[in-house]
Amino acid sequence: MAEKDITEKLLEDYPDVLKLLAAVSGDQRFQIAQNEPGERKITKMEDWLTKALDKATEKGIEKGIEKGMQAGLEKFVKCVDSLMENEGCSMEHACSVLNSTVDEYEKVKKLLSEAAIAV
């Protein structure tokens, strides 16, 4: 009898690992691999793990970009507000100091307030 490969051992000894991977990643192919003997190849498993990790990384990057953009927009609004309050600048002047326009400032403020409501 031939020795079992690592995928077969994993599937027999630790079937819940695949269920956990499917639940965490949202990728049901982990469970399909458990049910379809023809798909029990380590190269397929490696491909799936790589894709799952790539997908998680992309989501993390997207969330990081969103948070960074939101933080930058919040800082922009605070700077305009601070210039108006502390320096007595008009909104137009405060925006121009920051190479922006009143229209952009108002759009950003509206966007941030909508984002706060959505959360």
pLDDT score recorded for residue 1: 44
CA distance 11 to 33: 9
- Per residue of the chain (119 residues), give pLDDT as tens: 455 566 566 666 666 766 776 777 776 655 554 555 554 454 566 676 777 778 888 888 999 999 999 999 999 999 999 999 999 999 999 999 999 999 999 999 999 988 877 65
pLDDT score recorded for residue 47: 73
pLDDT score recorded for residue 58: 87
Closest CA to 95 of 77, 113, 110, 68: 77
Helix axes 15-25, 42-87, angle to 10 degrees: 30
pLDDT score recorded for residue 18: 66
- pTM, full prediction: 0.55
pLDDT score recorded for residue 49: 72
Q: Name the amino acid, one letter, at 97.
A: V
